[in-house]
Amino acid sequence: MTRSRRGWGAIRKLPSGNYQASYQGPDMQRHVAPTTFQDKDAATVWLTNQRRAVEDGTWSPRTADGAHQRRKTVADAFEAYLTRPRRRDLKPRTEAHYRELFARFINPSFGDTAVAGVMVEDVNAWYTDRTLWRKKDGSIMRTYRAHAYQLLSSVLGYSLPSGAVNPCQIEHAGTVDTEREIRPATLDELTTMTAAMPDRYAAMIPLTAWCALRFGEVAELRRKDLDLTAGLVRVSRGVTRVGKQTYIGTPKAESKRKVNIPPHLMPMIKDHLRDHVGRADTALLFPAASGGNLAPSTLYRHFYKARDAAGRPDLHWHDLRHTGATLAARAGATLTEQMARLGHKTPQMAIRYQHAAADRDKVIAAALSGLARGA
């Protein structure tokens, strides 16, 4: 039995005198021709056809008996992408968002299409189809479109063989342009909104704003997370809701951190702990009436009234966090210190976080209280 090495694929002569052809496919598996060949030239022709199919994107693997396997569709690729062995641990809410994007925007256009059959012109036409992205008022859902485009690009990039060109080629299409200008709350507006909230939730407004917390982080804070002696709040968990299901896990982007509480907030926080929080270390700072985590919809019923009282019907809850970032910048926080205080952690920013000292954050917290006093 002899083997002939070629530039692409391999041919070997069997004891029977026939030739067997094989090659390594884009899936990194070795594929053997379903039949043997009486001469070497016929085996070479088969390999040439297989190579051409790989290069033009029409290739699909064959089983040992030569029957075509079902080609991997974009829907198949999406599921493989979500369950890939080395994927980051998706938050339940993020996975739900991906599934909504795929079901609503990607699957109708590409779900049954073979991954290798998605062309650049197909993606361009899908992205520019205004009927797909139009809101009821005629405007374009730019955020949904950007997220869907980025998801499609990631799914195809994960599924295509090494060296293949991703058909998602529109520059900056996956970038979300802010559709509204965020206007931070003023100090007077924060005071008015705090006063307009029910007593058991009043401290949520200043704690969220001055410490720049996310809703999921503040809704999962417990008595043990506050260090009143050091004036710290430890952010180590977050709560999210997907439908009616509640999930508690690490904060967004793995942003565990310690945030110094501006000293002017400490009396309010101590009063809140005394009057509205259970004695157990695990007692929630802002529980729902049922005792569990506060649902966003419950908070919003009160917050909408509070923001109206302050004359800010445009304000979103997350804008309080944006307000905190603005206040910290006014207090003199550098970009590095801002990122550390807000918990914006990315691999690219890891080195910069090493320079954000805890002592400097305490100075920032004190300066924030200076702003509150009008200094």
**What residues are labeled active site?**
214, 318, 321, 344, 353
In DSSP notation, 137-178 reads TS-B-HHHHHHHHHHHHHHHHHHSPTTPPPS---TTTTPPPP
- Residue 222 bridge partners (DSSP): 284
β strands within the chain, DSSP E: 2-5, 10-13, 19-24, 30-32, 226-227, 232-235, 238-242, 245-249, 257-260
Q: Is 89 exposed, middle or buried (0-12, 13-18, 19+ CB in 10 A)?
A: exposed
Residues 6+ apart with CB under 8 A from 54: 25, 26, 161
* CA 266 to chain CA mean position, Å: 34
Compute, in degrees rounded to 10, the torsion defined by CA atoms 86, 89, 95, 98. Answer: -50
Q: How far apart are CA 214 and CA 233, in angstroms?
A: 13
CB 293 within 8 A of CB 220: yes
In 10 A of CB 175, how many CB atoms? 10
3-state class (DSSP) for residue 338: helix
Phi-psi domain of 94 (left: phi exceeds 0; alpha: psi -120 through 50; beta: other): alpha
Compute, in degrees rounded to 10, the torsion defined by CA atoms 87, 93, 96, 98. Answer: -50
Relative orientation angle of helices 142-159 and 74-82, to the nearest 10 degrees: 90
Q: How far apart are CA 241 and CA 293, in angstroms?
A: 10
